[in-house]
Amino acid sequence: MTDASDAIWRMSAATIAQRVRARDVSPTEVVDAALRRIDRLNGRLNAFCTLTPEFARAEARRVEAALNAGEAVGPLAGVPVAIKDLVLTKGIRTVSGCWAYADFVPDEDDVVVERLKAAGAIVVGKTNVSELGYTGLGGNPVFGETLNPWNPALTSGGSSAGSAAAAATGMTPFAIGSDGGGSIRIPSAFCGLYGFKASFGRVPLYPGCRDERFPGVSGWESIEHIGPISRTVADSALMLSVIAGPDDRDRHSLPDNGIDWLSSLDGGIEGLRIAYSPDWGYAAVDPEVRRIVDRAVAIFERDLGCTVERADPGFDDPAEAFDATIALEFDLVGARAIARQLGDRMTPSLRRFLEHGWTAEDFANAIVTRKAVANAMWKFMRRYDLLLTPTLATTAFPIGIEGPSQIDGRASADWSPFTFILNLTGQPAASIPAGWTDDGLPVGLQIVGRHLDDGGVLRASASFEAAAPWADRWPPLFAE
């Protein structure tokens, strides 16, 4: 068993899984360590909105009994995991940051939760989100704001806000996030973590984004992804090895094409041809973010043996089309009914979005623009193995605002112009820590793969992590 100096909460998921199987540490010890860490920190960060200590301890005892009996256990046996509160959990309330769902307890698990449980992972609670996952921020009217571990006066990003804050501070080694426009990658960048959005359809979604029983929550069918947020690339690969693969409840899920998620980390990337677009050719980017990302990109050429070229895919800013795509895929009838019911108890920006007078022409233009972006990207990616961009145009900004008023001298600039493009195209994309500012704030680098090349993104991520490791860097306020 562990000695007093062994801080379980600092362990990676892969390490916990290995040590549980080796009987060096018990599932009960691991879960108790996670719950103690949550009890110590959650009041300061608001990462978890619902905790499940009784369930978690019971599951730990069940896994421990299986080990004691010599029974086979899954690859995540005894590993604590946090589940984003947009992802349905059987018997555990799923509020989605919305007063209309304050008492909603699902009667079935999402596919990914089923698979995590079957692999032996132990759910310790649900993590805070923006209301119905609409914004890239970290708060909602029901539970309030999730704070950034690197500076609690700043946003954690969202909508997978609590999942990122939990992983960044060792409350759990990894967490489930979801991403309809950047909601895995945005909080990962703001919180100094690795977040992976696999190819569209690689991780099946049901029932949250596929079931008409959940008005307001269902929708975003062609742009939503579920995936890992973790402190290491290997932990994200480990989670993907469990949650990826087809399911007949998701008509968009991809067949298993033999991806070995863990082996994808091996082999290096020497000789790859990489494009670097620091601004898509039109976006405003904070100068310090650009400098840090420039330095990170240089590692690919100097240390990893790649050829890097400055190049843009060549599309115009499709932000308006993306907004219309969300509206098209939202359950507008159900969500507008909720908005009328809640009135001022709904997030103002979400209410404005729902009340906007969307037209058939808006939706038709969105479809045409999406096709144009996808065509520009596949043509561009035929010349390159990978594409690098900043994850976000700025570092984390203060709680209580929707974004900075200026970026690099430009007013009302979009602070998240890079992430949603890959939801329109469905390509695999990850945010990886590029470095930290002089003020100690994380900056993310986005690594984008060709269509369906999830393994290439993981391999590039692992290579960069080996060249510029960050996993031992903890937010100073929460390092002990």
Which is the catalytic residue, given 26, 84, 117, 230? 84
Q: Give the amino acid at 477.
A: L
| CA pseudo-torsion sign 122, 124, 125, 127 | negative
Answer yes or no: 159 catalytic: yes
Which is the catalytic residue, given 130, 159, 160, 264? 159
Answer yes or no: 84 catalytic: yes
Residue whose token pair is 């990302």 = 293
How far is residue 166 CA from its own chain's centroid? 12
313/373 Cα distance (integer angstroms): 9
DSSP string, 61-115: HHHHHHHHTT----TTTT-EEEEETTS-BTTB---TT-GGGTT---SS--HHHHH
Answer yes or no: 461 catalytic: no
User: What residues pair up with 228 in beta bridges, in sequence order?
Assistant: 176
Mutual angle of helices 454-467 and 233-243, in 10-degree steps: 160
Phi, psi torsion values for 141, nearest 5 degrees: -70, -20
Which is the catalytic residue, given 160, 183, 188, 230? 183
User: What residues pair up with 145 in beta bridges, in sequence order?
Assistant: 139
| CA pseudo-torsion sign 262, 195, 476, 29 | negative
60/222 Cα distance (integer angstroms): 36
Question: Interior CA angle at 412 toward 146 and 436, to 5°?
Answer: 50
Q: Give the amino acid at 450.
A: R
CB neighbours of residue 278 within 10 Å? 19
Kindly list the catalytic residues.
84, 159, 183
